[in-house]
Amino acid sequence: MQEIERKFLVKNDTYKAQAMSHKRIIQGYLSAHPQRTVRVRVMGEKGFLTIKGKSNKTGTTRFEWEKEIPLFEAQSLLSLCEEPIIDKIRYQVPVANHVFEVDVFAANNAGLVIAEVELAHELENYTSPDWLGKEVTGELKYYNSKLSQKPYKEW
């Protein structure tokens, strides 16, 4: 399956008033190799195992495989993950015909807020809300796998 998304910094917190939901996410990486990542995630009361391939040249598209796994298995696998573990709150924010996912990072990445929008194809149009800032699609330092290796507080 191909994941097509664009990433942006967030200018302010006005998205919170528009959010339809939010959940805490704890995730770690069993492998953060540049060609592929293997991620373990606990989101709310669910666990997930995800494998992602290398992004294309624009940074918008890459292979993604995700499988829900039992919560206790995900929690156990987190103990095998590389440090530091990513801790964030994800807000689901509807904007026109899309849902933006706004991640508010905590711990070693506190102060970083990134919005992502998934698209059907690379050139798909989307409405840009007023809280959306600079586009950072393809900038590796903003990938969660890179934030687990070099957290925002170390920039």
User: Catalytic residue positions?
Assistant: 29
SS3 call for 54: coil
d(CA 110, CA 102): 14
d(CA 86, CA 143): 11
The DSSP code for 48 is E
The DSSP code for 5 is E
- What residue type is assigned to position 12 of the chain? N
* Burial of 97: CB neighbours in 10 Å, binned 0-12, 13-18, 19+: exposed
Dihedral of alpha carbons 18, 142, 86, 76, sign: positive
d(CA 14, CA 105): 16
